[in-house]
Each structure stands twice: as structure tokens, then as C-alpha cells.
Copies of this chain bind each other. A is one copy, B any other.
Amino acid sequence: MKAEIIAVGTELLLGQIVNTNAQFLSQKLAELGVDVYFQTVVGDNAQRLRQAIEIGRGRADLLVFTGGLGPTQDDLTKDVLADYLNRGLIIHEPSMAQIEHLFSSRGIHMVESNRRQALMIEGGEPLENTTGLAVGNGLSADGTLYMLLPGPPKEMKPMMEGAGAAWLRSMLGGEQPLYSRILKFAGIGESTLEAKLLDLIDGQTDPTIAPYAKEGEVSIRVSTKASSEAEADRKIDDTVDKIKERAGEHLYAQEDVPIEVQVIQLLRGSSRKLASAESCSGGLFAELITNVPGSSGEYVGGVVTYTNGMKHHLLSIPMTQLEGEGAPGAISDSTAALMAERVRQISDADFGVSLTGVAGPSESEGKPVGLVYFAIAERGKPTSVHSLHLSGGRSIIRLRAVKAALYRLWLTLRAEETRATED
């Protein structure tokens, strides 16, 4: 089955918002085994929308609309499609009752146009909107399927995942759905990982292997069409085994989670605490860690010692270590080690992680942009220090440095977990 996604909204054409709906719908349709051949964006204009329907019908079996179901005069997706199909619009009574109830319960006067949100195209199926007022529509006409979804993502997504997917499945019948698994890697760049897997990526068509990079991490999506989840799992497991042979030490999860979530889980599992001391990363390590819900059980806190004075005041690092002739300086392996050790001691945590380096835009202490030292101090163990030579802009260097430190911490925790299990 070939599909086209048609997003309706002038705000998209003006570049006021980005079309994240198209991405979401493409992913969901792929999961249902539907191939998306085109995505189209058209403004709130009846004539051009009609044109887009006409073109879409000629090249796809399923047209998925998003947007233009609201109450205003600009919202004309239902009107235009009904007119194009020579069908009428009818009232979906449960939706109308819901709209009237909402307004009366809030004591707000309902303007007439709000009733438009309860309209559906004759012969279609209503798609329930659990988070808003505009009812969706599923419709089969002259061999083409039409699905009408709202534009706001908070209404569109639940409708697509709920009533929309159910309706589509009922129309698709025998098509095999696409199953996929996300593999997450750390401590390795996208191009290096791709080079290790090149023969697999190029030589294999089922399951397919698609690498992509986002937010300082590298992911691989392994996808296959199968008649059941069990069959898909078997096929995907085989491919994952081949990937593990080539890059297993960097694979930290088989689901789409950032590495800080895995780190928090390993800390939780072993009842241990973490503290951080950051210089060049400016709080990003703390920010990523504390963005994990419930991380306050494992992360006690940290310092952002941006200046040498702060490194001295908060971490008691001697000024002779940081400044003056022959001093190692703030950007050095020994300062990284001291920062990690001191923050661990002050906070009485089990682990202290530090980062110090040059995020740019210009060099510092005569050291080049992209040079970053990080250290992991562990209670009762020798401190390990690592250096990175990163490229990219300021934000990218900070993010990659923090992800590299998280990866090392994860390696340490996992190795200890493995030993604990073996004991």
C-alpha cells in the first residue's frame, strides 16, 4: 500500500512551524506496513487543497490528512474533500454532544462555528478525538482510502495511535506490518560505526539496517516486515548478533533511550550515588542527568566551576595546580582527576565525574578548541582520566564530551554489574 501525507496549514508554508506531524505519521505508517511515497504541505486554500487531493489520489492508495479540522473559516479539509467526493457532511452526534457539554459545563457561550468540529463526511467512520474536540474521519471511496486527522500534535498523535491505527488495520487486512528495533551506541561516531557495519548495511535487505545520528548519540534502526512479532524478533535478533560482533562494546541499549537513563538505572541497581564537577561543559552533564525523572535518588549534585577561583573555593584545588609557570593548568589530566576526586569526597558520593576542556569559540591556556579531559573517581578505586579531541561547534563539543563521559561511566558500572553477577 502506497500512502501520501498531506499536511494542511499556511503556518507550515510560512515556516512558522516545522512539520513534525509528517515525521510522526511516516513512522506510524511504516510500523503498519504502509510505504509513504510523498509528503505534501498545502495552505488553507480550497482550490490548492483540491489540487493536492487530485494529485495524491493519482499516485497513492491512502491519503492521510493532518490539519484543517478546527472550527474556523480557515479549516476546510472536510469541506473540500466532501465536495471533491460529491458527498455531504453529517453531524457525528456523540462529538456534538461532547462539544455542547464542554461549553455548557464551563459556562462559556458556544459560537456556532464550534459545531463544525463535529462534522464528518457521509459514509465515513468517525475517529475519536480523546484530547480535543474535532472528530477525525476514515473513509474509503472509489478505491482510495482517506484518513482525516487534526493538526495539533497533541490531538493528532493520540488519534493516530488509537482510532486511526485501528481503522487502518481493519482496512489493510493482509499486509505484513513493519517491525523495528532501535539500537543505541555510545563512545563511537556515526561514520566509524557505519564503516564497521558497511558490508551489513549494503549487503542486507531484510532486515534493513539504517544508521542515524542525533543529539550526540548514534542509533541504528533494524526493520523487517513479518507476520508476527515473534518472527520479527527472530529475524532482528540474528541481525543484532551480527552487529554485536562488529561493535558490541558500544551498544548500550536496544530501545530508544539516552545513555544517561542507562547510567541512572545501573546506579539505582547497585544503590550508588553520583556527583559531578564541570568546567567546559557548564552544567550540561548535571542537566542531562537530572532531566531523567527520579534521578534525585542517584544524583546528589555537583559544581560548575567555570573559573579557577571557583575550582579553588568550591573544590579546594590549590591555585598552584591551576595557575603560574609550570602549573598543569585548569585544562589538564591532573586537574580533571582532582575535580572528580574532590567533588566525590565533598558529596560523599560513590562516583565523581569531572569535565574540563576547551569548548570554544577560542583556545584557552594555549590549548586547542576541542581538547577535553574527563575523569571518573570511584570510592576505593584509582581515578581514571581520559582525553578527547573533538571537532564541531561549541554546543556539539560540549554534548559529545558529556556523552563520552557518560559512556565511560556506563562501561565502568556495567563491568562491575557483570562481576557482581558472576560472583
Chain A positions near chain B (C-beta within 8 angstroms): 11-20, 22-28, 30, 35-43, 48, 51-52, 55, 59, 210, 212, 221, 275-276, 278, 281-287, 289-291, 293-296, 299-307, 309-310, 313-314, 346-348, 360-361, 394-395, 398
Question: B residues within 8 A CB of A37?
Answer: 13, 42-43, 48
Contact B15 A41 (CB under 8 A): no
Contact B293 A282 (CB under 8 A): no
Q: Which residue of B lies closest to A276 (CB)?
A: B304
Contact A301 B306 (CB under 8 A): yes
23 contacts between A and B (CB under 8 A): A11-B210, A11-B212, A17-B23, A18-B22, A19-B19, A19-B22, A19-B23, A38-B41, A38-B48, A40-B41, A51-B59, A278-B286, A282-B287, A282-B299, A283-B285, A283-B287, A283-B304, A286-B287, A291-B394, A291-B395, A296-B306, A300-B306, A303-B304
Contact A348 B303 (CB under 8 A): no
Contact A314 B346 (CB under 8 A): yes
Contact A304 B306 (CB under 8 A): no
Question: B residues within 8 A CB of A40?
Answer: 38-41
Give A311 Cβ to nearest chain B Cβ, in Å: 8
Q: Which of A41, A59, A285 has the most CB of B within 10 A?
A: A41
Contact B314 A17 (CB under 8 A): no
Task: Knowing A19-B39, A309-B348, A347-B310, say if A14 contacts B283 (CB, 8 Å).
Answer: no
Question: B residues within 8 A CB of A23?
Answer: 12, 15, 17-19
Contact A212 B17 (CB under 8 A): yes
Contact A26 B14 (CB under 8 A): yes
Q: How far is the CA of A276 from the CA of B401 in the complex (A)?
A: 22
Contact A39 B41 (CB under 8 A): yes
Interface residue from B24, B38, B309 paired with A42 (Cβ < 8 Å): B38
Q: How far is the CA of A300 from the CA of B311 in the complex (A)?
A: 10
Q: Which 8 residue pairs are nearest across A and B when measured between Cβ atoms?
A: A282-B290, A283-B286, A15-B26, A283-B283, A15-B27, A39-B41, A301-B310, A301-B306
Give A75 Cβ to nearest chain B Cβ, in Å: 16
Contact A212 B16 (CB under 8 A): yes
Contact B276 A301 (CB under 8 A): no
Contact B51 A26 (CB under 8 A): no
Interface residue from B27, B295, B300 paired with A310 (Cβ < 8 Å): B300
Contact B36 A361 (CB under 8 A): no
Other than the known A11-B210, A13-B37, A301-B303, what 8 A-B pairs have Cβ atoms closer than 8 Å? A12-B26, A13-B38, A15-B28, A16-B212, A19-B19, A283-B304, A287-B287, A301-B310
Q: How far is the CA of A117 from the CA of B305 in the complex (A)?
A: 46
Contact A210 B14 (CB under 8 A): yes
Q: Which of A37, A291, A302 has the most CB of B within 10 A?
A: A302
Q: Which residue of B lies closest to A25 (CB)?
A: B15
Q: How far is the CA of A296 from the CA of B331 in the complex (A)?
A: 14
Q: How far is the CA of A24 from the CA of B19 in the complex (A)?
A: 11
Contact A22 B36 (CB under 8 A): no
Q: Which of A35, A55, A282, A285 has the most CB of B within 10 A?
A: A282
